[in-house]
Amino acid sequence: MSVKTSPLIVPVFLPHAGCPHRCIFCDQRSVTGTATAIPDAGAVQRAMEVYAKNRDSNNRPVQIAFYGGNFLGLPKETTHSMLAAATRFVQSGRVDSIRFSTRPDTIDDERLSLINEYPVSTVEIGAQSMSDRVLDRSRRGHRAIDTIQAVRLLKKFGFETGVQMMVGLPGDDKKTVLHSGRRIAALAPAFVRIYPTIVLAGSPLGRWYTQGRYHPLDLDGAVDLTKRLLILFHSYRIPVIRMGLQASADLETGSAVMAGPYHPAFGHLVYEALFFDTVTTRLGAHPPDGSIDVVVHPRDISKLRGLNNRNLQRLSDRFHPHQVNLQSDPGVDPDSMIVNHHCCPLYGERIDTATSGASS
Ligand code: SF4
């Protein structure tokens, strides 16, 4: 699957700005590492100053991104002033375009007409789940139908549309997660992000956890579910551009994490599991009588090896070969691997939405 060059993001964090209430799992202060602040146009200038100091775009497109809140939930005049401040950097040629994240229930004709006069190219919707029961229990305050309508409208206006979803929300299980994944895939977004639910100390979910009302997924369970979603979205040729929260200082020190499947390299763990599965599936039918030889594209060698060479050890423990050789070769397709001289695709076959219950 060819993926467009990913843009260099200049983030402007607006923790909880424009949010109608606090969703059960959310604490943007610890996720973004930014104190709650009243959004002002100066935040764009400050973000650009940080970017200028560390500038290394390598010719990638540059986007100013408003993250951490509900951008279209801001008062109209604030939305205008933030977009106007960002637009000045686009007009000067230092930035290519603007993106933001917002709730699905803030997308309507009027608001999209309002932002249409600015160089906004990308809008990310926080869908989180496509199960109304899970959305209710997570105190999202919107329904799955809002996400469906929002994606349709954003596409009609011509915005590149991304969707964020979560796994392990209150009321979630394997069935609801995969059901949500299929419904989101059926909407054909330009990309998705997948976040495991973490119990953040500053979130309402932290109280539920303390009271024994919520039990998070363990790390292996979250990796397995996210891997299944990755395979699903890949089968629809939908890029998964992030899996797991970006590490912030509070997350890294552990001060913000009460419980749950937080790992600073969560996405890497998902790929590690996918590569291990592919090798073992192949070898399951053809057990090695000598060595295990696996060759992948150079881009994928660290995913094949796993953190601290764990996959190498696991393969040794599982099959007891004389030797395990994990190597890279630029001639191998990044979406496949060669296992003992046989080519194996990394991802499964397309799943038909006709049987998925998707309503779009
Ligand atoms: S999940 Fe989004 S809408 Fe909910 S509180 Fe967090 S930033 Fe606001």
Q: Which residues line ligand 1 (CB under 6 A)?
A: 16, 19, 22-23, 26, 28, 69-70, 103, 126
Rounded to an integer, what distance in angstroms lies between the CA atom of residue 141 and that of residue 139?
A: 6
Rounded to an integer, what distance in angstroms lies between the CA atom of residue 272 and that of residue 284?
A: 18
The CA 10 to ligand 1 mean position distance, Å, reads 20
What pLDDT, on the 0 to 100 scale, is given for residue 57?
63
| Protein residue whose Cα sits closest to atom 5 of ligand 1 | 22
Rounded to an integer, what distance in angstroms lies between the CA atom of residue 245 and that of residue 152?
A: 27
| Protein residue whose Cα sits closest to atom 6 of ligand 1 | 26
The CA 157 to ligand 1 mean position distance, Å, reads 24
What pLDDT, on the 0 to 100 scale, is given for residue 359?
32
Q: Which of 12, 21, 66, 70 to mutate to test the pocket of ligand 1 (most atoms within 8 A of CB)?
A: 70
What pLDDT, on the 0 to 100 scale, is given for residue 256?
87
Rounded to an integer, what distance in angstroms lies between the CA atom of residue 250 and that of residue 252?
A: 5
The CA 102 to ligand 1 mean position distance, Å, reads 8
The CA 125 to ligand 1 mean position distance, Å, reads 11
The CA 9 to ligand 1 mean position distance, Å, reads 20
Shortest CA distance to 272 belongs to which of 300, 238, 232? Answer: 300
What pLDDT, on the 0 to 100 scale, is given for residue 356?
34
Look up residue 235 and give its two tokens.
């089968």
What pLDDT, on the 0 to 100 scale, is given for residue 56?
66
The CA 101 to ligand 1 mean position distance, Å, reads 10
**DSSP per position, 168-208:** S-TT--HHHHHHHHHHHHHT--SEEEEEE--EETTSHHHHH
Atom of ligand 1 nearest to the CA of 73: 3
What pLDDT, on the 0 to 100 scale, is given for residue 86?
97
Atom of ligand 1 nearest to the CA of 128: 1
| Protein residue whose Cα sits closest to atom 3 of ligand 1 | 19
Q: Please give the chain's pLDDT, 360 residues, in tens.
A: 544 678 899 999 998 999 999 999 998 877 766 665 667 888 999 999 888 877 666 778 999 999 999 999 999 999 999 999 999 999 999 999 999 999 999 999 999 999 999 999 999 999 999 999 999 999 999 999 999 999 999 999 999 999 999 999 999 999 999 999 999 999 999 999 999 999 999 899 999 999 999 999 999 999 999 999 999 999 999 999 999 998 777 777 777 899 999 999 999 999 999 999 999 988 886 667 789 999 999 999 999 999 999 999 999 999 889 999 999 999 999 989 999 888 999 985 434 333 333 332
Residues 6+ apart with CB under 8 A from 137: 24, 169, 170, 171
Question: Rounded to an integer, what is the distance from CA 108 to the centroid of its chain?
Answer: 24
Rounded to two decimals, the pTM is 0.91
Atom of ligand 1 nearest to the CA of 21: 5
The CA 20 to ligand 1 mean position distance, Å, reads 8
The CA 26 to ligand 1 mean position distance, Å, reads 6
What pLDDT, on the 0 to 100 scale, is given for residue 70?
96
The CA 341 to ligand 1 mean position distance, Å, reads 49
Tell me the domain boundaries of the chain. Answer: 8-263, 271-345
CATH topology of domain 8-263: TIM Barrel (3.20.20)
CB atoms within 10 A of CB 90: 20
| Protein residue whose Cα sits closest to atom 4 of ligand 1 | 23
Q: Which of 12, 26, 66 to mutate to test the pocket of ligand 1 (most atoms within 8 A of CB)?
A: 26
The CA 299 to ligand 1 mean position distance, Å, reads 34
Atom of ligand 1 nearest to the CA of 101: 2
Atom of ligand 1 nearest to the CA of 69: 7
